[in-house]
Amino acid sequence: MLNFKQDFIRFAVQQKVLCFGEFQTKAGRLSPYFFNAGLFDDGASLRNLSQFYAQAILASGLSFDMLFGPAYKGIPLAAGTAIALVEQGRNVPYCYNRKEAKDHGEGGTMVGAKPQGRVLIVDDVISAGTSVRESVDLICAVGAEPCGVVIALDRMERGQGALSAVQEVRRNYAIPVVSIATLDDLLAYLQGEAGMMQNLHAAQLYRDKYGVKNE
């Protein structure tokens, strides 16, 4: 496991973004862990989070020309990741969308750099894939090419069918999905942490019941 993946899990636990217990998911399942990226809510945590995004993107080797942050959570993520990439020697433009079109000033739904070339979508997680579908439609509508999605955590969990939301995005749009960490990385972290055996056991049982196979 790449070091930044385990470092990210540890960071998320320390920030209480990743919590353990019993949490009901949108699908009605009782999950032994909960990940809320909205709790990266100050300057220091957003800076660190953005650096993890940049590391995951660069480690993936994915070719891209600019970043797109879907409203609303994706907006600070795309901006922060653009800054973190500069610190790694890569300066790329970024843009984001409005939920409602602006009818004055510059107008339209897109803000920032003009979408062009290969556009990488930056978001927190993929649940139902709705945000990805909307982002792909917006990017294609202006003649640019969606080239992938980068997210913080891949839960590796089945949706209504046999595939996870991430796998459905890969299949439906033929684009890669890069994650900073996955459920497998979380399990590896728990295995190495004293006092986490109960959480490890619960997460393993959940993985066995609802998880998808590695691709």
- Taking alpha carbons only, the member of 58, 119, 44, 112 closest to residue 86 is 58
28 assigned to some structural domain? yes
Q: Is residue 51 part of a domain?
A: yes
* CATH number of the domain within which 76 lies: 3.40.50.2020
If you search the block for the tokens 């942050």, which residue do you land on?
Answer: 69
Alpha carbon 67 to chain centroid distance? 13
Q: How far apart are CA 143 and CA 97, in angstroms?
A: 15
Average pLDDT (100-121) is 79
205: domain range?
A: 3-210
Q: Catalogue the E-assigned strands of the chain.
A: 18-24, 30-35, 66-69, 94-102, 108-112, 118-122, 145-154, 177-182
pLDDT above 80 for 100 = no
State the catalytic residue, choosing from 16, 102, 201, 213: 102
* pLDDT tens per residue across span 147-175: 999 999 999 999 878 999 999 999 999 99
Q: Across residues 18-29, what is the average pLDDT?
A: 90
Q: What's residue 94's pLDDT?
A: 98
**Does 59 fall in a domain?**
yes
Q: Considering the chain, what is the average pLDDT of its residues?
A: 92
Write out pLDDT tens, residues 75-97.
999 999 999 999 999 999 999 99
Round the CA-based radius of gyration of the chain to a whole number and report it.
17
With respect to residue 215, please indicate whether it lies within any of the assigned structural domains: no
- Whether 102 is catalytic is yes
The pLDDT value recorded for residue 104 is 47
**Arithmetic mean of pLDDT, 63-84:** 96
Domain count across the chain: 1
Predicted structure pTM score: 0.92
Active-site option among 99, 104, 201, 213:
104
